Chain A
């Protein structure tokens, strides 16, 4: 953005009224309505859940080093992967970028003082925490063994585990998604600074806006579904179990009607982050801004009509399968356009390989592999073979970890100076980013091979012949752990000891960089006036 009223004065300003100077008392955090502090509440909570979920993943990988199920009993193993899935999907991935970076940055990027509904924003964090407590209760009550997918009638009538507690937790956390989504939509619609037209919005805002729409439209279906599961499990009302006159496929339709768009809740914000980073570190405007916006909205729309691709062998009719396959091929096109445009943004740039940029380029590799293998799964006859195999596990981890988590890490580093007012150690950050890239490929690439070779998902023990690939994958998980632990250490360290950050250390063009680091309580001294696009790196 070219013109911001107060930007020239910022550098000399004493940082006394930044949003952190308001105090560190528990009260000042737990009762805050400042979107920037709420972002931190989320950041801390999701980090706790992330390490919780990762610990489960590490134990799973430990068990799978040997073909026999020797480290854990089958019941324990099933609880581990269920916990891993539930925690990672609902308590980390879905809130990750929107609730932390989105919460912090959207008001800054649109030049607003706060979200449209600051109190609702805080409420949504409390709802999230309440949901988290229920999930914790489910774990203490012995855990859940249904997988994160809760397929019926297993979850309703056969599982002897804390299904209800877990379902209540997810039901509750869904409302926090809805409220966050609502806040984003209203903020973007009504609080843009003068001159900030829709087509001048940073792609990060567009992506979060689209995500918010999905949250609002899809989450109620999940809530309804969980309610129905509760009715069948708690009261024996036949909805999904054929023995009670229900239909087990109905569950799958409703579940994936939410859960496929949920994938886009995870990946769209990631795409937004990547656009900002690549543009900044190649000193080029994002190539094909309009195409990018159209792609985001196309993904949002098409994302709602592909859910049946999870059901190609479920007993769904052949014709439904064909239709869902067709749409699944189509939904890949806008993602391909985005990848093309990111690559073209590098052309004739001035590229610097900072840590955020290494994360962004890693994203490009990982997301492309994840996306292309999605085509394999959309292809009907191939899906029949690899459905519910490790091929699928590999595919969605490339998208969700390789894509969403890598972008989250990239974004965290990119905006860290703005978030905290401190710089991190560049050397350590680059090391961690490279470790992540290696770890991810080493963990999940062998799983593609395993899947086609015939290894089913969610197996506690397996035929000996698959061992070598499992060992490689477990090794990769070790490297991955380093890639996640390092940032935890050096970023925490930088909070106190890091060099103070200038307002705009990357010389970026976004509105959020035109105010001081960390930003003042009300973000801008004066409401900025926007006169140009968000990526004017070439002047």
Chain B
């Protein structure tokens, strides 16, 4: 579904990512872990077309998407829930969710998906006509994840959705992600919280100062003493 080869990317002349090689197969849940400033969000920004790669190739669903405009990438089926939620604070919850489906033209299905999202997150239904900016942090994250679902992407990338949230809210969000996965969506989970990410994933990659230094099956990685020492503090 997604194949990244020898990707170098960054901001202007500042290179952040070095020779990234990564693959995600259809139906998988892949975790990308790495500490503060490792370059996780930079990678996602590049995949979404908001940053142009310096070199290397990104193939998504059979098409080269390196340097392609963000709107085209969304229409091809690649969407992300950005770090920090980035909701449209002055729009209502409903408007935020509908804006998530902006690239779609199948109106009836959009209405159905809206219902699906509200079943996943019943608290959003109660807040449907409130400005997104007035929600609690947990509700905002649900809204952001819901907005991502509304694009009905082939591959959904989630950037640190658990950051700063109570465990019970994190559980609710990952439970919802599990249900979406059951519908056939492929998922890339980006987290600093290694435990949460690897528990959900089939496979994982570790990004360290801009380079991928390790990859493997999630269960193996969770058991790996190096990872436990470096990221779980055990």
A binds B: no
Interface residues of B (CB under 8 A from A): none
Interface residues of A (CB under 8 A from B): none
